Every structure is written in structure tokens, then in C-alpha cells.
Structure 1
Amino acid sequence: MSSLTQPKTGDPIPWTQLLKSGYRIFVGSHAAVPNELMADLIANSRGLNDIEVTQVFTLSDNIWAERKYAELFTVNALYIGGTSIRNAVAEGRADYTPTFLSEVPKLFSDNVLPLDAALIMVSPPDELGYCSLGVSVDVVSSAVKNATKVIAQINPSMPRTNGHSFIHRDQIHAWMTADAPIPESPPPEMDQAVEQIGQYVSVLVENGSTLQIGMGKVHDAVLRYLGNHKDLGVHSEMISDGVARLMKSGVINNRKKTFHRGKTITSYCMGSKMLYDFVDGNPHVELYPAEHVSSPVNIARNEKMVAINSAIEVDLTGQVVSDSIGRLLYSGIGGQVDFIRGAALSKGGKPIIALPSTAQDKNGKLISRIVASLTPGSGVVTSRAHVHYVVTEYGIASLRGKSVRERTLEMIRIAHPEFRRELLEKVREFYWVPEYQAQAPTSIAELGPVEQKEYVFDDITYTLRPLRPADERLLQEFFYTHNKETLLMRYNHHVTQMSREKSCSLVSVDQRRDLALCFTDRDGAREVIQGVGRYYFSEADNSCEVAFVIKESRRGKGIASTLLKEMESIARKRGIAKMFACVRRDNKPMLSIFENNGFTYRPGDTMDELYLELALSGEKD
């Protein structure tokens, strides 16, 4: 039994016996914040001063952080959340202690932040005397274990969740019963940019993946676009309404997980009453402490682990700012680094940062969130070496294994078009890209919203996508796989070198005017170009000249015909009047492809060539 006589239900909590001035207390987190318990403490705080309130994010008004309670409380936020906390930190009335979510429990257990009391919210005890920590186990579990006293708000509305979520009533020194709705997090409003980000991220999620999803509208958008996926799992520091909906539909079934198979694993839940009802007694959802769920080692035990997190800004090398806007401390580190690192260590894992490409400053001016240099005072939460993918509404930047030059070009490609030229000019000053890199990345709207398609030839999955400025090295590698005959047929003379500058010119295309597509597949985690098709637009007669080349080992499978059909489709949508090509007479396979796709031919300018032409409508579809 506890050392203090527990008050009967309805009796006042003897705060002056439990707490002293100068104590450090922990307040329950996220949707399990004991608001009524804190209100009772404030109402009965006579004689108490300078109590430090240590907390992570709380779904609350955080009235204890208001200026009028400055003599009673000082807040030490391990994660900044809510207007009251943010204002108190900005005004110097509260502190922010940056820390990984997985390491918060050790701050308590190692007495770095010793706790005199933990104020928590729990469900009523069962017949064996066990209460559930309900919708928030995360760091509450450690606070309960390490605090000198535990004071609870017993809430009949608190769901009883499974996992490591239980505390016996003998561990509680004092309590009050207060029935109150669990705080809800309203669904965020979506916009077109966020919807597009969700669609892009869903492309990166393979069937059978295990997901970590954070909070906010980007993450909600991702969940909306996973409805057609199969056999997904969840290992995440939090779950929201979207996870519950996907579990109900069978998309999330956890069958392919390699750690905690069959279970959705999380440390807290935050959403609507629907979510709280869903997790109540649900044997398929288990809550565990943050040190277990957010451990990078445990995260990596799930194969195909996909970690999806957001950011305030990202620089062109991949440095991620998540907890501050310049010198303004805004949120916290949370579980981002833990999950990004865990996903990177996972077999087939994908660490992803997703964010809108722009924001508005305090004057309403549009600013880029993809920046050449971080805003002065900004803190790097996730390093440039951690992130594999960055996603905006303009595409997916693949950074893994890329040089600073390559990732700079990838990042500019997913920036808002209004800022791409400016970003390119800035990084040329730093010599991150060479002086001959003059064309800013452009997009192919006609290829569809995600600018890529998948095809299967001979049981091999290929991706059709635009050639990009960061493909300079990939195109060089592709060139040097060609034999002499291929080079002769393609270039009409024996080319022996593809210089970096020449390769740059071939991948740096204004895709709004000309066109450059490629087919790629995977050699392990490495992307390999297997075919390239392009056309060059002539404004004089509204025509385009077509050319393509396929790796020798991949010919005869339909890649060339597919490339030609895709280019024809885009040309028609752009209202181009005709397509033409000049092909050597002895290049029988290529002549056959053009003829089979409706091109007619006549003698070319030389005896060695044929001129092939396909009339298009000349009008946009």
C-alpha cells in the first residue's frame, strides 16, 4: 500500500500534505492531460510557490502556464505545444528542454529531472485494482515509476487500453474522481497542396510496410491516400483517427510486421471520440512506453519501416528544422529523429520528411520552406545524413547516397516554381552546383500528379519518370553500358565519352518545352536507367523530333514502344502538330517500332537515313 492514506472518492486532495514549494511535478501528456486535477490544485494552492511543471505536449489550454500563475508554476516543456506554453517560452516565463522522446524516461529514472509528484489521468480500477493509463502511456509510464508521489484523476470516460498501460491503485497516493470527456483533436483542414503531398507519400509506401505517422494535416492526408494498400502495419509513437479507419477497412492488419506481429503498436492516441472508443479494450492495439516504442533499435526490427515526419523548413542539403522558426522556439524534437534513424536501419525502410513547399510570413508574404541556407537561429533536428526522402506538393526528392550537388538539384526540383531560379542562383555562389548548370528543374504536368508510372515487362517492375538534373551520374552510367553499335545507331558516329558537362546538358531539360523521359528499375536499393526517350520542340512548325535508346539487354520487351506512346500522348496534350525522327536505314529494330506506331517514312537528307513522321491533331485534347 502507499504510504499516504488515500482519500475517499469525493474527499478533497490534501495538496499541502502532498506538495511543497519548489517541488517538480509531471503533468500527464497528450489527450491524457488531467485538466480537472490541475484545476483542483490551482484552486487549493494556498501557500505553494515555484512548482516546476515538467511536461511534453498536452491537448489542453495549459492554464497553469498563464502569466497570472507565474508565482505558483514555472513550466519546463520537453515539447512545446499550445499557445499558452509557446507564449510563456517566448516571453522567458517558461523553459524548453530539447530531448528525444525515447530519452525522456531516462531523465526521470537517472534523476536528471527528479520528480516529486506525477499528476496523471487514469481509468477506474478493475476488479483486481488495476487502472489503465488509457490513451497516453508514452512518458507517463516512466513518470509514474519514478515520481515520489502519484496523484490521479480517475476518469470513467478514460478508455482501458491494452499493452503496458496498467497501474495498480496501490501505486496511487491520492486521487479524485472527475468524469470528463477525453480532449479531442479536431481534424485539420486540407488544401490542395497537402492533398498532393499525401498522394506523393503514398507512392513511397509499399504493400506490407509498417508505418509511423505523426500528427498534423500532412499525416492525415497520407492516411487518406493509403486506402488501396494492402497488409500495412503500424509501429508509431502516436495513432490518430486515420489509423483507426484503415484498421476498420482491413488495410492495416499488421500481418506482415516482423516485430509485434499482429498488433498496432503505439505510445499514445490523439484524435476524436471515435478513436478513443476504438482503442477501448481493443486487443489489436497495444500501448507501450516511449522508451520501447521510440527506440531506434526496436523500430528497425520492423522490415519495410516507413517513418513519415514533417518540418518547418529544409535546406538544399537536407538539413531539417522542426522545432523552431528562426530563434522562435515553436515545438519540439519528439520522436522524429528516433523514427527517422530507426527506419533508415530497417531492411527496406524509408525515412521521409514531408512538408508544403511554402508558407506565409507574418506580413502575409509567400516564402519558400525549401531554403538555400537555414533561417538564422534555426535548430537542426534531423541531420542531412538522416533523411532519405523529402516530399512537397511538387514531388519526391530522393537524397540517399546523393552528393551535395545532386541533392541540391533534387531539392530545388520540389521547391515552389516561383523560387527555383533564385535557389539555383544562390547555390551556384556556393559552388554546390557547377556554373554550367543553368536550367532550373521543371515538371511534366501531362505525366500526371505524381509524375511517374509503373510498368511490368518480363516480371520486372519499371518506373517511367522524367529525367532530372540530379540524374547526371545515372545518365553517365547508362551511356557507358552501350556497345559501339548502339552508340553508332543513336548518335550516327562513334561517340566515346559522356562528360559530366554533356550529361548535365542532357538531364537539365526545360520539360515544359522539350521532353526527356526515362525507364528505371532497381538493383537492390540503387536506381538504374534502362531506357531514355526525348523529343526536341520546334516552334517554327509546331513539331518535335523524337529519339530514344534502350539498354541492349532490355530490348524487345516493349520499353521502346511504351516510351514512344507516352511521348506521343504528351505531345498531343500540348497541341503539337507532328512528331518526326531521322533513323539510319540499317537500324531495323527502331524503324520497326516507329512503323508499328503509325509513323510513315520517306528518304532522309542523306542516303543513310530515313525520315519518319506522325501527324498529330495540332490541338490540345
Structure 2
Amino acid sequence: MTAQYQEYTSIEWEKYLKSGNRIFIGSGAAVPNALIDNLIENSEKFHDIETVHILTLSDNVWAKPEHKDLFKVNSLFIGGKNIREAIAEGRGDYTPCFISDVPRLFNENSLPLDVALIMVSPPDEYGYCSLGVSVDIVSAAVKAAKYVIAQINPKMPRTNGHSFVHLNQIHAWMNVEQELPQFISPEVDRRTEQIGQYVAMLVENGSTLQIGIGKIPEAVLRYLANHKDLGIHSEMISDGVIDLMLKGVINNRKKTYHKGKAVITYCIGSQKVYDFVDGNPHIEFYPSEHINSPAKIAKNDNMISINSAIEVDLTGQVVSDSIGYQFYSGIGGQVDFVRGASLSKNGKAIIALPSTTKDGNISRIVPHITEGGGVVTSRGHVAYVVTEFGIASLQGKSIRERSLELIRIAHPKFRDQLLADVRKHYWVPEYQEASPSSVPELGDVELKKFTFKNVDYTLRPLAPADERKLQEFFYSHNKETLIMRYNHHITQMTREKSCNLVSVNQHSDLALCFTRKDYLGEAIQAVARYYFIESTNSGEVAFVIKESLRGMGMASTLLGEMIIIAKKRKLDSLVACVRRDNASMLKVFEKAGFIRQPSDDFDEVSLKLPLTDSEQAMA
């Protein structure tokens, strides 16, 4: 059998192809370049051949201007050398589609295939070749095309799963060795690192991941090194995933679908990736119609999809295939996995992107979609949007709330303008005056995780989008709590009042909260704040903790964080006024070092914490 397939050194193209036919070209790192070159060398009788493919890591010679009479490009996902230029210049076409739907296009005569040009490994003793590093839509093309022509490449890994093609399915082949193209991960800058940190905070132990390739995915994977029992159900993998599998972080033990296996459709990366998947029984390759099926993706509990975008508007619409009128990439598998993660039990659909373009001059959080841009993922699909300035939680949020959430994670120099713009198009009340501000002293990601009595809580700044959450927190209090906090029994928290309390200039004042997420969403459990007093360079501290959570250390933790921030801001002191009968709160302050001060009001105790040497000497 080996001798038989080695006899082919050229293809008799006229037996399988004629002018005007449509051919499929293999994907990713499995482009059969030798077949393309051989076809061009023997093309004197052919013209107007349509090429159909997705991302191709190749020189893509068929898309060069000198071959415009021979080939017409029709890309289902734009990428790779010469393809984008051909489409921009009108020599090629872009056909938008979900990757999960491509097999239907081939099978139901929307895009019927005459010939499929593929790359495979040498056959085994039973005559089976492997599609190797790219099963994706190649598998469907092999089944749908009238003729299949293969480049048999000894350098192609033999991958496991549904990746095999028998020689009797191949009508002609050439045995040509070809190095697989390598993708070396780019250096991760500080901005991208922060995005990676934020995304990693959304990933719980035991989650199953879909993740792509590039700076942001690599940054995310770096910050998952301390996670446990992660799984992979992804369109693709690259070097970062391999590193986590070798460390045992990704072990697929907690998956609820394809348990114990990492399942993908293709891989791209360094030679390390190709060597790792070669014969590896722990990684299985399946066709796109299987891996990208939202219904099958959703069979994974705790499914997390991590994708990027070109821009996101203030309602949550995601543009990821075009820059204005210029088509840049494609729909790909983004919507498949966003939808699958949304349907998954405890799943999360995440869009991660830098807050601005590389030069910092254009915000990628925008008041409206750029003219000519197209929505790939709708405002109803995405649960989280992440930039280097934080995490915007959109699920269950009104247009007003999500606008404020997204402004909070935009670059600070664009926030005021975004708030002004949003008033022109969406309903934001007149009393919402301040754009969100940050608390950099809280740390790079402005979020901290704490556990009290085996329950996880997040400490973060209070934000304008928390208006409704703060109302709900207020109405959860009993009469005693309201008296202790406000010194009288107030019965209403209007939207205006709540808006005022969450619209904090965090650069001078400070407002922090503990939140907890459950099946009902995120709820505020505790709020702590200080109001800056300029005349004394001090901050007046106030707390309120949910009744059922008192005595667990939340107040002490919040106070400790505020003391650290106040010292970094070089405040001279923190002060507080506490009702004399509020023994538990007095204990919290005094344990932190606050000293009782003379007070004109017998019912209240004044306290002060000196923060500078001079204040301590006076105390």
C-alpha cells in the first residue's frame, strides 16, 4: 500500500476538475500547498475556479492578483496572507456563516463542492489516513465533494477522534513532505495581562473552556495556572493549553460531556503543539458540526466561552468580523460557543478586548456601532465584557444598567464622552451625572476574592450600574439596621438617592462592597465607604452589613482595605461616628486601632484612627 501511494508525483487534473468548478482548500495549518502549486502549474485549460475555505495559514498563492482569472476567492473566514487584500479589492468574496452551519452549506447545495483538496498523514496498515491538525470543516468537505484529492504529508501528526479518512475515499494523491506552519504566541503586554487576570477571575475550578489564539487567550491561560480540574471543549487549542495540560491544571476530570478528553476541531501553534497531539489519546479531534453545535456545547456544565471583538457598543452588541465597511475576519465559531455557554448550567459567555485601539486614540467601547460594522454576537447573548479596566456584567441588565457597566470598563479618558453620548440614544436619567471612576489602589484588577464560612464573596468598588442592587440591599434591611446606619428609620430608597450613593468619585471618596453570585445573579452583601473631608485631610467611615452575615469578619476586612487605601492616598486620619448602643461596630473600629474622641452627642461615639506620624503623636 505504501508503494502504491508513493507513485503519485502529479495529479491528472482534467480527470477531476473543469473550469467554473468549486474547490475546497484545507484549513488552518493543513493547507495542501503542493496540490495548489501543482494545479497552478497545470492550469492552462482552467479558469474561474471558485476556492472555498476558512482560515488558511499559508502564502495563499491562489489569492494573488496574477491568478485572478484562474481562481475566485470565496472565504468563509478571512485571514492569512493575500486573502484580506483580495476581498478588499473586490477580487474575492466573504461569505458570513456560523462554522457549525458550514457542513449544511456543502450538503444542501448552497455551496456544493466539486473537488476537496486536503492534507493527510500517511495511511496506517489498514489504509486509514488522519486529517491531523485540522478536522474542522475538512471532514464535511471530504464527505460532500465529488472528488477528494490529498497531499500525503509524513510531517502531518496522526490525531485521534473522528479524524480518519480511508484511502478508498481519496481519488488521487501526491506524497509531498511539508513542514506545518508554526504560530508563535506574541509577547503579552501589561494591558493584556490585566485582561487575562480579570477573565481568569471569572473561571471557577472544574470549568470547561473554549478559548482561541493570540495575546488575550495566552494571558488568560497564564493566570489559570493555579486553577484545578479544568476541561477543554474548544474549536481550537494552542501552546498555552498544552502547558496547562502538562501541569495537570487541565485534566478534563470534571467535564460532563466527553469526560476525560480534551475535544477540539483543529490546533495551531509551535512544533510543541503538533508533537503533543500526535497520537495523544487524551486529545480528540471532531468535525465542526459536532464540536461547534450549541446543543452539544451546552452539555458541558460550567462551560466558559472566551472570545474577542473589534468593538462593543453600550447596549452590548459585539462587532468582531469587520472594521466599519472593511471585512476583517469572520463569524467563525464565536456565536456557536457564546450560545452554547449561555445554555450551559452555570455557563458564562465572555467577550474580552482592550479598551482602546493600539495607539490609544479610539475607544473600543462605543456609543453605537461604527457605520458599516456588523453585529456578530447580539446584545442578548453576552454575559460578560472584559477590558483592562474591569468586568462588565450584562446578564439580566437593562439598557441603562449595561451602558453604565460598559462605561465603567472603558478607558477613563472616554468615559465622560460615552456618558454624554449615551444620553442621546438610550434612556439614562438626568440625575445620572458622573461617569464611573476606578480604585487603582485596590490592585491591578480592582477585585479581591474572600471566603467567609466556606462561601465565596467578591470585594470590589461600588459602581453606577449598582443602582438597583443598592436599592435591593437597602430593602433587605430590618428596622434596627436602618436606625443603626442612618440614625432614624427611613423607609424609602428612591432611584435618585440610590443613584447618588453609587455615583462615587472614587478618586477622592471611596465606596467598596462585598457581593455574592448565585442563580439569582449578583447581590450586594455589605457596603463600606468613606467621605473625604478636605479641611482635615481625613475620611469619614460608614458601614452596613447584611444582618445574616454579621460576625463573620466582613466589616473588619472592609475596614482593613479602606485603611490601606487611605494610607496610599496620604490621608492624615479616618474618623467615624457610631451609635453608643452599636457594640459590635464599636468593637470593629477599636480592634482596628480607632481611638475614642470627645463627643457632643451622648448617643454617639466619635472615633479616630491617626494615619500619619504627626497625627499619631497628637493622639
Per the normalisation by structure 1, the TM-score is 0.97
Aligned to 2:191: 193
2:151 to 150, 153, 160: 153
CA RMSD of aligned residues (A): 1.4
The one of 532, 557, 566 equivalent to 2:561 is 566
Q: Which amino acid aligns with 1:315?
A: D
Name the residue aligned to 1:61: 59
8 A Cα contact 2:238 2:268, kept in partner: yes
Encode CA deviations 1:269-318: one digit per residue, 9 max, x unaligned.
11111100000000000000000000000000000000000000000111
Distance 2:14 2:475 in 1: 79
Cα 1:525/1:487, change in 2 over 3 Å: closer
3-state SS of paired residue (1:236): coil
Give CA deviations for 1:462-481 in whole Å, capped at 9, x if unaligned: 21111111110110011111
Single out whichever of 558-567 and 85-94 deviates more from structure 2. Answer: 558-567
Match of 1:487 among 482, 501, 505: 482
2:28 aligns to what? 30
Helix, strand or coil for the counterpart of 1:368? coil
Task: Give the stretch that moved more between structures: 480-489 or 40-49.
Answer: 480-489
Instruction: Measure how far apart 1:10 and its partner are.
Output: 4.2
Amino acid corresponding to residue 186 of structure 1 in structure 2: I
- Which of 584, 588, 595 aligns to 1:589? It is 584
Out of 377, 385, 400, the residue aligned to residue 380 of structure 2 is 385
Q: Deviations over 1:524-583 (max 9, x none)?
A: 241111111000111222111000011112111111111111111111111111000112
1:120-159 CA-partner distances (Å, limit 9, x unpaired): 0000001110000000000000000010000000000000
Does residue 70 of structure 1 match 2:65? Answer: no
CA contact (8 A) 2:9 2:175 kept: no
CA contact (8 A) 1:575 1:618 kept: no
Runs of 4+ more than 4 Å apart = none
TM-score of the aligned structures, taking structure 2 as reference length: 0.97
Give the 5 Å matches for 1:77-226. Answer: 77-226=75-224
Counterpart contact for 2:6–2:175, Cα < 8 Å: no
Specify every segment of 5 or more residues in structure 2 that has no aligned partner in the other structure, as ranges: 615-619
Alignment check: 8 A CA contact 2:123 2:129 kept: yes
Paired letter, 1:443: S
- Classify the secondary structure of the residue corresponding to 1:20: coil
Instruction: Specify the alignment match of 2:611 in structure 1.
Output: 616
Other structure's SS at 2:35 match: helix
Q: Distance in 2 between matches of 1:274 and 1:57?
A: 21
| 1:90-111 Cα shifts (integer Å, max 9, x gaps) | 1111011000000001111111
Q: Distance in 1 between matches of 2:145 and 2:222?
A: 40
Partner of 1:531: 526
1:400 counterpart = 2:398: no
1:242 paired residue number: 240
SS in 1 for 2:498: helix
Q: Of residues 570, 574, 588 in structure 2, which corresponds to 1:575?
A: 570
Q: How far 1:11 moved relative to its partner?
A: 3.2
SS of 2:235's equivalent? strand
Q: Which residue of 2 aligns with 1:432?
A: 427
Give 1:398 shift. Answer: 0.4
Alignment correspondent of 2:617: none
Q: 48, 51, 63: which is aligned to 2:49?
A: 51
**Quick one: distance in 2 between partners of 1:381 and 1:11?**
44
Residues 8, 173 of structure 2: 8 Å contact kept: no
Cα drift, residue 587 of structure 1:
1.9
> Aligned letter for 1:487?
L
Aligned position for 1:456 = 451
Structure 1 gap segments, 5+ residues each:
none
- 1:541 and 2:536 matched: yes
Q: CA deviation at 1:8?
A: 5.4
Check if 1:518 corresponds to 2:516.
no
CA distance in 2, matches of 1:247, 1:457: 31
My pick for the range that moved more, 462-471 or 403-412, is 462-471
Letter in 2 for 1:612: L
Q: Report the Cα distance in structure 2 between the residues aligned to 1:602 and 1:203, rounded to whole angstroms.
A: 42
Q: Are residues 1:296 and 2:291 paired?
A: no
**2: CA distance, partners of 1:384 / 1:338:** 15
Matches of residues 466-485 of structure 1 in structure 2 within 5 Å? 466-485=461-480
Q: Name the CA distance, whole Å, in 2 between partners of 1:81 and 1:143.
A: 19
Whole-angstrom distance in 2 between the partners of 1:453 and 1:569: 14
Q: Deviations over 1:13-65 (max 9, x none)?
A: 11122210011000000111111111111111111000000111100111100
Name the CA distance, whole Å, in 2 between partners of 1:522 and 1:410.
17
User: What do residues 324-375 of structure 1 show as CA deviations (whole Å, max 9, x unaligned)?
Assistant: 0001011100000000000000001010000011105xxx671000000110
